[in-house]
Structures are given as structure tokens and as C-alpha cells.
A and B are shown apart, each in its own frame.
Chain A
Amino acid sequence: MPPIGNSAVKEGAFYMAVTFFVVLAAFPFYWMLITAFKTNADLYDVTNIPFWFNKPPTLEHFRYLFEQTLFGRWLLNSLIIGVCVVAITLATAIPAGYALTRLAGRNAEALAIGIFLTYLVPPTLLFLPLSRIISWVGLQNSMWSLVLVYPTFTIPFCTWLVVGLFKTVPREVEEAAIVDGCSLFGAFVNMVLPLSLPAILTIVIFSFTLTLQEFVYALTFVSASAQKPITLGVATDLVRGDIYYWGELMAGALIASVPVAIVYNLFLDRFIAGITGGAIK
């Protein structure tokens, strides 16, 4: 046993290191939080200690956000975009993932990897041609362009996730159903889909958060304020000329961040399993 003094020093160093990491990771969000509730007089006074309230907190920035800006509209836009993208992704990625796990013979793995690799094709390579395509189909400056484009990264990512998740459903489940007189398609609908509810939930969560996190395509395709999703609206529209409305900006960023952060934390392990190659063996 090491002497007690030594282990106390070790403990202290450990917790200091943990504190360092927590402060590093979370301080910008604390800063968002406190800025959002501070009065302007408190914010723009260098003589104040900035880490807490020097004047009583206020909801003024939130009120401004909802009454004087299109914030509510952006929230709604993001919701609509998210729901549509989730629907498209579900309808394509689940059958594709199933086919790649069970139906598509020898080339299945190569095909699955091929689909997944398209996730690595970056938006900054595709945004120029896609912006031309979008103006050809008449969707420029409309949030529907994002509904059209976002599945290009949610489908590859979610198909890959689903492949990993379907691998954990035992093949006997369908075989039993087929023996009992179900068709192959019927076995998929009646047996596999109910068992893959976790897969479906994962897709819903990740497609939705991926659409909320996206910035490049939104910036490129949508410049009309009323059509912007929340991330783009907050990051680009609350700045007027060179004057920043920091209180409003931080309030907006806070509202848009909190739900994503919570949901992400809950589903993190799935995400990592997906990104590092399907199911963990």
C-alpha cells in the first residue's frame, strides 16, 4: 500500500484533471447560458466580473428572439425538414440495410462499404453542382432543397447503422416465419420490423440530429430568412452589419443546442458503434 499522503496527492491530481476537461468542454455552453440571461448593461461593461450576474437576470433576449426575429419560424422549418428527412431515410435505409444483411449474397459487404463511403464525400465538394441542380429543379432559396439534399448523408450513415443492428437479429426468426407460411416480404414486415424498433429509433434520432447539425448546405442553398433552418438562422441572421446581438445570439444557440445535446448523449454508444463499423462484435 502506498502512503496515504501520496494517494491523496494522486486523487487531487486526478480530480483536477477531470475538472480541467469539464471546464474545457462545457465552458462555452456555460457562457452561452449566462449571456442569454444577462441584461445588456451587464454584458457590455468590462468592469464587471463576467462569470456571474452583476445585475438581476432577464428574459428580455428570449422575448426579443420570439417577438422580433423569425426564430419561431426557424424552429418550425427545422422541425419540418427533420421530419421529412427522417421519413425519407427510414423508407430507404431500413430496406437497404435489411437487403445488405440478408438478401444480397456475396457482394453485400462491398456494397455496404461502398454506400457508407459516400458519407465521406464532403458537402464542400458537392455544394457547387448541387446548387446548380437545385436551381434547375426550382428549389433555390427554399427549405425543400434541404429536404432533397440531406438524405444524401443520412441514407449512407443510417444504412450502415442498420446493417450493424440487423446482424443482431437472429436469422431463425424469419426462417421460422417462412416455415409457418409467411412470404419473404411478409417475414420482413411481420417479424423483422417489430424486432428492429431499436434500429428505427436510432435512425430517427440520428437523421434528425444530423439535419440539425448541418450548416454548409443550408448556408449555400438558402438565403431567404423565412426559409432558414434554426442553426443557419441563429448563426447568420442575428448579426446585423457589424453589431452583434450577443444576448439574442446566445439565447437562440442555447435553445437549439439543448435538445440535441441531451438526445445525443442518450444515444452516443449507438453512434460510436455505427461510425466504427457496424455492430460491435
Chain B
Amino acid sequence: MVAIAEKLRGPRSRLEFVFDRPQVLGSAFLAPAILYVLLLVGIPFLLAVYYALSAYTVYNPTYHFVGLQNFITVVQSEIFRRTLLNTFIFTIGSQILGLILGKFGALLLLRPFPGRKIVRALIILPWAVPIALATVAWEWMFDSLYSVINWVLVAAGLVSQANEPQWLGDPQLAMLCVVIVNAWRFFPFAIVIFLAGITAVPQDVLDAATVDGAGFWRRNYQIILPMIMPIVVVGLIFGTVFTFTDLSVVYLLTMGGPVNATQVLGNLGFQIGILSGDVSHGAAVSLFMLPVLFVLVILMLRFIRRREI
């Protein structure tokens, strides 16, 4: 018995000796996470670039190198140019709307009042619930026959039953719908970000400013806003990245329609690359997200380190 115990202890303690060096243990601890990410984010990313430069399709998987041909074909297509413009409208529109709602919502929630916790919990819902499911609920609210929004408009006498807006059938309205749903999804996140920033502003700074004669607006825009800027920018970058590359809202609400009026890069890449199996052109479409993502990541890097709050 004693011998067995001795034998077991030998290699184990040698192992422990190796693992006692911080570098070795550190690398061993880091390796799984880094390998996972390299294998399933790094390699696919390079593959995406490679597909975009080749003539690869699901039906004809040849890695025939075609240079920038796919990108040229894509840019020449009118649908793509429309899509690119739509993606910017979709992103910028919903982020601005989300930020405005977020700022005002945060100002409201800053003040204690009875039931604030419940109100906060309810306001967080759009951000918490899986967006695909919430989008389905919106689709039902925009329904062509039984839209509750139209019911209200008719009941209020704003439109007649014959001229009910076809929310998802009209090109302009459809764009408005996807922007609204996406802003609706992000504004709770904006509220929480603003709240986290504002509550972290030291009270003595505000008191000092008040003593020096700064009023409400001045405190808001010359003291609080500059101080919370980094955290707001980080939140905004998140929102922008996830909106710019989004697929679910558009896919479920309009499928890019009517006639590509709400087509965005993510959905176009999906339709070309997955549904039609034209992997190389799909990859080329998706890669057009890169320049924007790149700029956003650089911004993120600048702000994530300068954060004071």
C-alpha cells in the first residue's frame, strides 16, 4: 500500500513542479481558449477571404483563384449598391434613434420613484429577450390584415380602413419598420450604458460645478457628457457592430423586401452564399463589412483604455 502511494506521488509532484512556474501554468491555462478562437474564428476568417478570391461554389468546390473578380462583379450589381446604402441607413438610423431614447430614458430612471425597479425590468425586456422572438411579435403587430397599430390608427380616425398603411409592403415604410424594431431592441442597452456612466460620475465633481454656478444643462453637457463619453462610445460601437452586421431583424421581418428595399449586407450574404450556394460571391459581399468593422475596432481600442469611469 505504501509503495503504491509513493509511486503515485512521484510523477504528480513533478507535474506540480512544472506547473508551479507562472509562465507554464499561464500558457497551459490560456491555450484552450486561444486555440478554440484561433481554430473557429481565425481560420474561418482566412477561409472567407480565400473564398472571396476564388470561384468556389457548393456545387463546384474548386479553389480556382480569380483575384478581385468577385468583388468587381458584386460592386457592379445594382442590388449590392442599394444594399450597402440600406445597411448604412439601417445602422445609423437605428443607432441615433436608440441613443436619443436611451438618453431620455436614463434621465428618467436616474430619479428614484416608487416602482422604479419594476419599470427598469420592463424597459430592459427588448434587449433581454431573444431578438428573433421579439421580431416575430413585431411582425404580428405589422401584419397586413390584423395590425394592432393600424387598428389604433383607424380607431383614432387618423387613417381610413381602406388606406391602412402596409407596413412591410411599402418600401419606405418597411425600412422604417426595420429601423424602429432595431432601435427598439437597442435603446434599453443605451439606457443602461448611460445610467452606468452617469451614476459613476463622482458627486463632489457635480457639487463643485453647482457651487461654481453651473446649471442643469451645463452640468449635463459640459461635465457629465464628456466624462461618460468613453463608456457611451464603447456601448455605441457595440450597437453599431451588431446592427451593421445584423441579419435576424431583416430576415424575419422583410426578408430584404419589398424588392430589396430593406436588403442589408448580412442578409444578402446569406441569400447568395447559403441559399444559392454561391459561396465566393456571398463571402465577397460579407467582406464588405470589414472596412467599417476595422474602423470601429480601432475606435474601440482607443476608448477601452482611456475609460475613466
Interface residues of A (CB under 8 A from B): 14, 17-18, 21-22, 24-26, 28-29, 31-32, 35, 43-44, 46, 50-51, 88, 91-93, 95-96, 98-100, 102-105, 111, 113, 115, 117-118, 120-133, 148-149, 151-152, 155-156, 159, 183-186, 188, 209, 212-213, 215-216, 219-220, 231-232, 234-235, 244, 246, 249-250, 252-253, 256-257, 260-261, 264-265, 268, 272-273, 275-277, 280-281
Assembly CA distance A231 to B33 (angstroms): 27
Are A95 and B48 interface neighbours, CB within 8 A? no
Question: Are A264 and B132 touching (Cβ within 8 A)?
Answer: no
Residue of A with least CB distance to B124? A265
For this complex, 17 residue pairs linking A to B, each with C-beta atoms less than 8 Å apart, are A28-B141, A96-B29, A100-B30, A104-B30, A117-B300, A117-B301, A118-B37, A122-B289, A124-B286, A149-B40, A156-B37, A185-B20, A219-B247, A219-B270, A235-B133, A253-B134, A276-B193
Whether B33 lies near A21 (C-beta < 8 A) is no
A28 adjacent to B274 (CB under 8 Å): no
**B162 CB, nearest partner CB in chain A, Å:** 13
Cβ of B241 under 8 Å from chain A: yes
Check B22–A120 contact: CB distance below 8 A: no
Given contacts A120-B293, A122-B241, A183 and B16 within 8 Å (CB-CB): yes
Residues on B with C-beta less than 8 A from A92 are 32-33, 36
Query: Assuming the A-B contacts A96-B34, A125-B287, are A25 and B125 also in contact, with contact meaning beta carbons closer than 8 angstroms in the complex?
Result: yes
Query: With an 8 A cutoff between CB atoms, is B238 at the interface?
Result: yes
Report yes or no: A28 in contact with B138, Cβ–Cβ below 8 A.
yes
A102 to B184, CA, bound (A): 40
Q: Is the interface of B mostly helix, strand, loop or mixed?
A: helix
B66 close to chain A: CB less than 8 A = no
For residue A255, which residue of chain B has the nearest CB? B133
Q: A128-B48, A253-B136 are in contact. Are A95 and B33 (CB under 8 A)?
A: yes
* B279 adjacent to A121 (CB under 8 Å): no
- Assess whether B234 is in contact with A277, with CB atoms less than 8 Å apart: yes
Give the CA-CA distance A253 to B131 in the complex, in Å: 10
Contact partner of A128 (CB less than 8 A), chosen from B34, B140, B283, is B283
Q: Establish whether residues B234 and A29, one from each chain, have CB atoms under 8 Å apart when the complex forms.
A: no
Decide: B33 and A98 in contact? CB cutoff 8 A.
Answer: no
The 9 nearest A-B residue pairs measured at CB: A103-B26, A122-B245, A129-B47, A264-B128, A95-B29, A96-B33, A124-B266, A99-B29, A129-B44
A25 to B303, CA, bound (A): 30
A104/B134 in contact, CB under 8 A: no
Please give the distance in Å from A275's CB to the nearest CB on chain B: 6
> Could you tell me the distance between the alpha carbons of A31 and B151 in the complex, rounded to whole angstroms?
13
Task: Select from chain B the residue with minimum beta-carbon distance to A246.
Answer: B140
Q: Is there contact, CB below 8 Å, between B274 and A29?
A: no
Residues of B within 8 A of A130 (CB): 40, 44
Interfacial chain A residues near B286, Cβ < 8 Å: 124-125, 127-128
Nearest chain A CB to B269 CB, angstrom units: 6
A126 proximity list for chain B (CB < 8 A): 41, 44-45, 48
Chain A interface, >50% SS class? helix
Please count the residue pairs between chain A and chain B whose beta carbons lie under 8 angstroms apart in the complex.
287
Known contacts A46-B145, A128-B48, A184-B19; is A31 also within 8 Å of B137 by CB?
yes
List chain B residues, Cβ under 8 A from A115: 33-34, 37
Task: Contacts A244-B140, A246-B140, A250-B140 known; list 16 others, CB within 8 Å.
Answer: A17-B104, A25-B122, A28-B141, A29-B125, A50-B148, A115-B33, A117-B297, A120-B300, A122-B245, A125-B287, A125-B293, A129-B51, A231-B132, A249-B140, A268-B128, A272-B192
Partner of B274 from the list A93, A127, A232 (CB cut-off 8 Å) is A127
- By a CB distance below 8 angstroms, the chain A residues around B265 are 124
In this complex, the interface size class of chain B, counting residues with CB under 8 Å from chain A, is 35 or more
Residues of chain B within 8 A (CB-CB) of A100 are: 30
Q: Which residues of chain B (255-309) have a CB below 8 Å from chain A?
A: 265-266, 269-270, 273-274, 279, 282-283, 286-287, 289-290, 293, 296-297, 300-301, 304, 307, 309
Within the complex, what minimum Cβ distance (angstroms) separates B137 from chain A?
Answer: 4
Contact B137 A32 (CB under 8 A): yes
CB distance from A169 to the nearest CB of B (A): 15
Given contacts A215-B132, A250-B140, A272-B192, contact A122 B293 (CB under 8 A): yes
Q: Given A117-B300, A129-B48, A232-B132, do A276 and B196 touch, yes or no (CB 8 Å)? A: yes
Asked whether any CB of chain A lies closer than 8 Å to the CB of B208, the reply is no
| Contact call B245/A25, Cβ cutoff below 8 A | no
Contact of B192 among A156, A215, A250, A268 (CB under 8 A): A268
B252: interface (CB < 8 Å)? yes
Using Cβ atoms and an 8 Å threshold, which residues of chain B touch A183?
16, 19-20
In whole angstroms, what is the CA distance A212 to B28 when docked? 30
A209 to B34, CA, bound (A): 22
What residues on B are CB-neighbors of A31 within 8 Å? 137, 140-141, 148
Is B196 touching A125 in the complex (CB atoms < 8 A)?
no
- Given contacts A104-B30, A184-B19, A260-B128, is CB(A234)–CB(B188) below 8 Å? no
